[in-house]
């Protein structure tokens, strides 16, 4: 079973956004929300980039709606959101995929 990935792109000052997003995440968890297996947060030139990786079979369908209600009181913008499935969970797997592409 594949792992779901949710990528969030918040525009604005990444340092301000990071503190607010951390509080929204704390509130999400405090309200019984399921935490992702992996979180990567990066300060980008245009804002904050957050990547959440959910374990196989973890139900997180309500994440967007529930987090949104935590973002609004913190004056955080709703992010641009992208969803995907992990294609390569580590560097070795990624490199192995190159062999498949050159075989044709």
Strand order in the sheet with 38-44: 38-44, 47-54, 4-11, 80-85
Q: What's the pTM value of the predicted model, to 2 decimals?
A: 0.82
* Total Cβ atoms within 10 A of residue 65: 8
Q: Which residues pair with 5 in a beta bridge?
A: 53, 84
Q: What is the pLDDT of residues 61-89, one digit of tens each?
A: 666 666 777 788 888 888 999 989 888 88
Q: What is the pLDDT of residues 29-60, one digit of tens each?
A: 888 888 889 999 999 999 999 999 988 877 66
**Structural fold of domain 4-102:** Alpha-Beta Plaits (3.30.70)
The residue ranges of every structural domain in the chain are: 4-102
């Amino acid at each position: 079973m594949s792992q779901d990935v949710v990528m969030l792109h918040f525009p604005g000052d990444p340092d301000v956004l990071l503190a607010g997003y951390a509080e929204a995440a704390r509130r999400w968890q405090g309200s019984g929300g399921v935490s992702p297996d992996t979180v990567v947060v990066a300060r980008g030139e245009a804002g904050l980039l957050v990547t959440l990786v959910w374990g196989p079979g973890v139900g997180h369908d309500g994440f967007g709606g529930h987090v949104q209600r935590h973002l609004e009181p913190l004056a955080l913008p709703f992010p641009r959101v992208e969803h995907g499935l992990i294609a390569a969970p580590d560097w070795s797997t990624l490199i192995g995929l190159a062999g498949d592409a050159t075989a044709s």
